[in-house]
Amino acid sequence: MSNMEGTPRTMGTQNNVYLTQTYTYEAKSRILSRASSAVGIRLTLVDNIFHPQGGGQPSDRGWVDDIPVSPVRDPDSGWVHVDLAPESENDARAFSEGQVVTAAIDAEQRRLHAALHTAGHLVDALIRPFGVRHVGSNHFPGQARVEYELEGAEVDKEQLADSLREGVVEAIAQGLPISSGEWDGRRTITIEGLATEFCGGTHVTDLSCLTDVSIRSVRIKSSRLKVGYEAAHVALA
């Protein structure tokens, strides 16, 4: 009988490959559970390469055995599941618990998301010395920005923009490494020599992977600072 709750019947540790292997775009995995969800069929994979939307980063676009899927994180268990496209339900009936399948993601999109997320951390690290408090981030293509409460800090927009542009160029030229770690049971991301922050997203290996990083806008309204930016991933051979 299928597990109809969308949660693995046999609890254990799901291997979220995307946390340590940004550039893994395809992998074999075993189906831990097959369930019903609001949109149709939901699978849980033991080795998961899909990043679910969260932390300001959009979800990966991907496939399981060539059938389109959308990753989603269960807010209670923390497990990442994939919902099969509703129109694929007939093709998906053969999926069963224990079956080995091939998971794949859109590689170009993954690299872009990782570049935007890392660039957001870089911009944030350069803004923090101005004495503002980070309150939000958006790493979506075309919408990327970081937001802060001024909390009484006086910020000159032009000075900040110039400082950010100079800092971005210098950090990328140095190719500062990016590493992941853990503190107090939570994952961290470190830009060497700049900052360490809690983060569950995908990131490039070092800042030399970034290109076309620019500060799109610096706005201050109602005691809130919003800094928009753009970024891309360097072309890979």
pLDDT tens digits for range 207-219: 999 999 999 999 9
- Distances from the Cα of 194 to the Cαs of 118, 126, 170, 197, in angstroms? 12, 8, 12, 10
| Cα–Cα dist 33/164, whole Å | 47
Q: In terms of Cα–Cα distance, which of 146, 117, 114, 120 is closest to 133? A: 146
Amino acid, res. 110? R
Residue 217 main-chain phi, psi, to 5 deg: -165, 150
pLDDT at 159 over 90: yes
Contacts of 103 (CB under 8 A, 6+ apart): 26, 27, 28, 29, 45, 47, 48, 49, 50, 62, 63, 64, 82
All domains of the chain in start order, with CATH: 15-105 (2.40.30.130), 109-233 (3.30.980.10)
pTM metric for this prediction: 0.91
Q: Would you call 71 helix, strand, or coil by DSSP?
A: strand
pLDDT tens digits for range 193-208: 999 999 999 999 999 9
Q: What is the DSSP letter of 205?
A: S
Q: How many CB atoms lie within 10 A of CB 207?
A: 24
pLDDT tens digits for range 105-123: 999 999 999 999 999 999 9
Q: Would you call 222 helix, strand, or coil by DSSP?
A: coil
Let me know how long the chain is.
Answer: 237
Tell me, what's the pLDDT at 224? 95
Q: Identify any residues that bridge with 31 across adjacent strands, giving them in sequence order.
A: 45
Tell me, what's the pLDDT at 13? 77
pLDDT tens digits for range 20-43: 999 999 999 999 999 887 778 899
Amino acid, res. 211? T
| Cα–Cα dist 121/224, whole Å | 18
Q: Would you call 165 helix, strand, or coil by DSSP?
A: helix
Contacts of 199 (CB under 8 A, 6+ apart): 55, 117, 121, 187, 188, 189
3-class DSSP string for 108-138: HHHHHHHHHHHHHHHHHHHHHHHCCEEEEEE
Tell me, what's the pLDDT at 39? 77
pLDDT at 141 over 90: yes
